[in-house]
Structure 1
Amino acid sequence: MSNTRNLKRPEVLAPAGTLEKLKVAIQYGADAVYIGGDAYGLRSRAGNFSFEEMAEGVEFAKKYGAQVYVAANMVTHEGNEEGAGDFFRKLRDIGIRAVIVSDPALISICAQEAPGLPIHLSTQASATNFETLEFWKELGLERVVLAREVSMEELAEIRKNTDIEIEAFVHGAMCISYSGRCVLSNYMSHRDANRGGCSQSCRWKYDLFDMPYGEERRSITGEVPEEFSMSAVDMSMIEHLPDIIENGVDSLKIEGRMKSIHYVSTVANVYKKGVDAYLESPEAFEEIKPALVDELWKVAQRELATGFYYGAPTEEQQLFGARRKIPQYKFVGEVVDFDQATMTATVRQRNVIKVGDQIEFYGPGFRHFTTFVENLRNEDGELIDRAPNPMELLTMTVPQVVEPGDMIRRHGEGLINLYQKDGTSKTVRA
């Protein structure tokens, strides 16, 4: 698609917690993915990659012209840096495009012991002004991931005053602590958030107490609507992509290495389509924007806001009381084969599928259509009414052409809690 206004096309950067997610993200439009290795990262519970898996991921990405980055953004204590030089050299030799680092010790080791491997500064380093970006540029870094606390006004000023590549978060979970540098998990669960062990203590349910001086404390749970005291909503900048693109951001970062392939495929698909539309014209973007927003609400996530881009978050950007919006779709399968002669799709099931279910097929390039489950058969070719076993291969007839890799959602999950301005809520069936 031609860009008649000569705007720079930003990279859509998606998370990939496993090799499967890496492939899905790239197939669904990601220009690059970021992964974690077996060491030096901040997601110890994600499906981190072995060197062999990294090599396979790099080869897969090359077929699509995509890039693979590795996050090595932990804060090192004495001894943690041992072996880092060999680690970075292996990443370079495998063909990893760049490594994302926050600790100056690891940056120095990488620069000295793995020359030729580009370094990107992690958001953990809290870069919030152009002087900071210039400092890291002079030290040889190629790109800076901005702190999530940077406003749109500050972003514009930064871009005017430095030519180093800028990466900015546009979608996903927001950390309650400044740039993710938190010790709450250390104290609550003895898991170091800055060395890959965050237990997300901020999202736990907390009791509240009335503690008059000299008297015994008294729980006031039930007297106030709060059950979470520190849990932030997620970020979504899909409606504000024009501001991000016009201010020269080089890479649009999506959070979520521990998210599902349903989430990764959907969000990568949406942001790729949004970028394409805006580069075509502002009118094309405005026309498709409602569909992009609707699509994002088909995956499980928290409520959405714009983070710090347009002012400091208020209590409206915290999770409390009744949920104001809940996704109403469930991921149920993916297409592994299609016979156009019989219009039969072979599907790998992920959740329960029943005859008569309203389902939606979607694929790369923002392709969609809705239908109903018909002529459902198990692996033995037997007609069935219900398929309850995950990862079973099924067949079903479909009214339109589908492709291997297309995903399937089921519509109509559960209830919607509608938050009211007076603090009450009402519940309606989906």
Structure 2
Amino acid sequence: MKTHERMPELLAPAGSREKLVTAIHYGADAVYLGGANWSLRAKAGNFDRAGLRDAVTYAHQHGVKVYVTVNIFAHNRDLNGLESYLLFLRDAGADALIVADPGILLLCKETVPDMPLHLSTQANVTNKASVRFWQAQGVSRINLARELGLEELRTIRQAAPGIGLEVFVHGALCISYSGRCLLSSYMTGRNANQGDCAHPCRYSYSLLEEKRPGQYFPVEEDERGTYIFNSRDLCLLFRLPELAAAGIDSVKIEGRMKSVGYVGAAVRLYRAALDYVKERREAGAAWEEIVLPPAFADEIAKVGTRGQTENFFSSAPSSLAMLYDRMREIQPCTPVGIVRGSNPLLLETRNVLEAGDQLEYLGRRLEPETCTVRAMSAADGVPLQRANPGSLILLTVDPPLADGAEVNALFRKQHDRQAE
């Protein structure tokens, strides 16, 4: 590998402290999170000021950067108190601010001129001239629009070598261009561009003829309904070698509102993939020779909710990028718990767990370790045959984990299809 090459940063969502801890555990280089205001995920757990300061401290202790979202499209009323918040973020040690609104960007430059500014994907940057424009405004990194293909990314990189480029590689896709959607506002009064999206793109729709009130006709003949706006999830896992070769500085996982199990599984897999690409390059492989092994396909099938699409990466997406007949795919796995102690094995359960269940432990290696619940008891030692979500249990598995369990690691089990 050439000495000047470096792999893209792995940027992970942290919608709560628990998700932040999980993302860091599984190898994120940086996390992005939001405060209670000015963030496009108002319904995420988010962080109050004390929590945000604690999150930055925890991340920095583990060598991880923290980028804070200040990325709503602001009305005049939204500017009240913004300057003091920006000063707080600077004093708390945030590594960068993520912005979309030009007015907020201007206030950031005036109030905290020493803080790096990252441009949100909502700013809709789709060409090299726009990159030059935002670079001239003081932006140090641009999260490019999700509607760009690989050749466009390469062209932008070549035309703008002095700015950081960030690309979403995994997670939910919005039906609207760069996520700038008005559907939620029209249908529910909740403004997506202010961080309060009700996600109506995931609803089931039917046709209503005005002279036949109360009679709803399916747009397609399917008893489960029709999800005409429902995109499959983005997945560029197998395109990481091409993104790295193109000079992308950061690859970003969507999911501040997803579960801790989702965040952990996705970060773990993308960390393993980036490490694999790096190892192959250091061994002398050309970029075009690097192909992820089949084990990655097995694992990615266990992560996510709506199936997968590469979106615009190679060509404009077709109807195959949509999931028309249901809100989400049937999930093959269920996260069942988070390790809270390693010796003895102490598990905080997130779904029902029963004696005899087959589990997979998500360690640092790509392939999970498979084991069986041999015994479990409450924290006070009372034996259990079944543990409900939210329990703290002592767990014995067979065979024992090769290297023991690490605190903050995840267990999952095969999904109970009969529960569908």
* TM over 0.5, shorter chain: yes
Distance, in Å, in 1 between the alignment partners of 2:268 and 2:375 is: 29
Task: Name the structure 1 match of 2:375.
Answer: 375
Could you tell me which of 299, 304, 324 is aligned with 2:303? 299
Tell me if the contact between 1:352 and 1:390 (Cα under 8 Å) persists in the aligned partners: no
Tell me if the contact between 2:241 and 2:290 (Cα under 8 Å) persists in the aligned partners: no
Distance, in Å, in 2 between the alignment partners of 1:271 and 1:120 is: 22
Deviation (angstroms), 1:52: 1.2
Deviation string 1:235-263 (CA, Å, 9 cap, x unpaired) is 00001111111111101010010111111
Aligned-residue identity in percent: 37
Distance, in Å, in 2 between the alignment partners of 1:295 and 1:98 is: 32
Residue identity opposite 2:303 in structure 1: V
Task: Name the structure 2 match of 1:326.
Answer: 330
Residue identity opposite 2:177 in structure 1: Y
Task: Name the structure 1 match of 2:320.
Answer: 316
Deviation (angstroms), 1:66: 0.8
Task: Name the structure 2 match of 1:414.
Answer: 417
- Find out whether 1:221 has 2:218 as its counterpart: yes
Alignment of 1:90-169 (within 5 A): 90-163=88-161, 164-169=163-168
Deviation (angstroms), 1:222: 7.9
Task: Name the structure 2 match of 1:172.
Answer: 171
Distance, in Å, in 2 between the alignment partners of 1:39 and 1:261 is: 22
- Find out whether 1:230 has 2:233 as its counterpart: no
Alignment of 1:1-400 (within 5 A): 3=1, 6-163=4-161, 164-209=163-208, 216=212, 219-221=216-218, 224-225=221-222, 227-281=226-280, 288-321=292-325, 326-339=330-343, 344-366=344-366, 368-398=368-398, 399-400=400-401
Q: Which moved more, 1:83-92 or 1:330-339?
A: 330-339
**Superposition RMSD on alpha carbons, in Å?**
2.3
Residue identity opposite 1:69 in structure 2: Y
Deviation (angstroms), 1:301: 1.2
Residue identity opposite 2:243 in structure 1: I
Q: Which runs of 4+ in 1 moved over 4 A?
A: 3-6, 215-218, 282-288, 322-325
Distance, in Å, in 2 between the alignment partners of 1:262 and 1:130 is: 37
Question: CA 1:216–1:355 in structure 2 vs 1: closer, same or farther (change >3 Å)?
Answer: closer
Distance, in Å, in 2 between the alignment partners of 1:230 and 1:204 is: 8
Tell me if the contact between 2:363 and 2:369 (Cα under 8 Å) persists in the aligned partners: no
Deviation (angstroms), 1:4: 5.7
Distance, in Å, in 2 between the alignment partners of 1:243 and 1:287 is: 10
Q: Which moved more, 1:286-295 or 1:224-233?
A: 286-295
Deviation string 1:299-349 (CA, Å, 9 cap, x unpaired) is 34111000111111111111112689533111111222223xxxx422122
Residue identity opposite 1:306 in structure 2: E
Q: TM-score scaled by structure 1? A: 0.89
Distance, in Å, in 2 between the alignment partners of 1:8 and 1:410 is: 36
Q: Which moved more, 1:383-392 or 1:91-100?
A: 383-392
Q: Secondary structure at the match of 1:220?
A: strand
Distance, in Å, in 1 between the alignment partners of 2:189 and 2:220 is: 31
Tell me if the contact between 2:350 and 2:390 (Cα under 8 Å) persists in the aligned partners: yes
Q: Which moved more, 1:362-371 or 1:400-409?
A: 362-371
Residue identity opposite 2:37 in structure 1: A
Tell me if the contact between 1:239 and 1:289 (Cα under 8 Å) persists in the aligned partners: no
Distance, in Å, in 2 between the alignment partners of 1:388 and 1:61 is: 31
Distance, in Å, in 2 between the alignment partners of 1:196 and 1:92 is: 22
Could you tell me which of 402, 406, 420 is aligned with 2:405? 402
Tell me if the contact between 1:274 and 1:289 (Cα under 8 Å) persists in the aligned partners: no
Question: CA 1:52–1:367 in structure 2 vs 1: closer, same or farther (change >3 Å)?
Answer: farther
Distance, in Å, in 2 between the alignment partners of 1:404 and 1:223 is: 48
Question: CA 1:216–1:157 in structure 2 vs 1: closer, same or farther (change >3 Å)?
Answer: same
Tell me if the contact between 1:238 and 1:293 (Cα under 8 Å) persists in the aligned partners: no
Q: Secondary structure at the match of 1:52?
A: helix
Tell me if the contact between 2:340 and 2:408 (Cα under 8 Å) persists in the aligned partners: yes
Deviation string 1:76-121 (CA, Å, 9 cap, x unpaired) is 1122112111111111111000000010100000000112111111
Question: CA 1:106–1:322 in structure 2 vs 1: closer, same or farther (change >3 Å)?
Answer: closer
Deviation string 1:147-180 (CA, Å, 9 cap, x unpaired) is 1111111111000100210000000000100111
Tell me if the contact between 2:357 and 2:413 (Cα under 8 Å) persists in the aligned partners: yes
Tell me if the contact between 2:373 and 2:395 (Cα under 8 Å) persists in the aligned partners: no
Deviation (angstroms), 1:269: 0.8
Q: Secondary structure at the match of 1:336?
A: strand
Task: Name the structure 2 match of 1:422.
Answer: none
- Aligned residue pairs total 408
Tell me if the contact between 1:299 and 1:330 (Cα under 8 Å) persists in the aligned partners: no
Deviation (angstroms), 1:216: 4.6
Deviation (angstroms), 1:294: 2.0
Q: TM-score scaled by structure 2? A: 0.91
Distance, in Å, in 2 between the alignment partners of 1:124 and 1:307 is: 17
**Structure 1: gaps of 5 or more residues:** 417-428
Q: Secondary structure at the match of 2:97?
A: strand
Distance, in Å, in 2 between the alignment partners of 1:350 and 1:277 is: 31
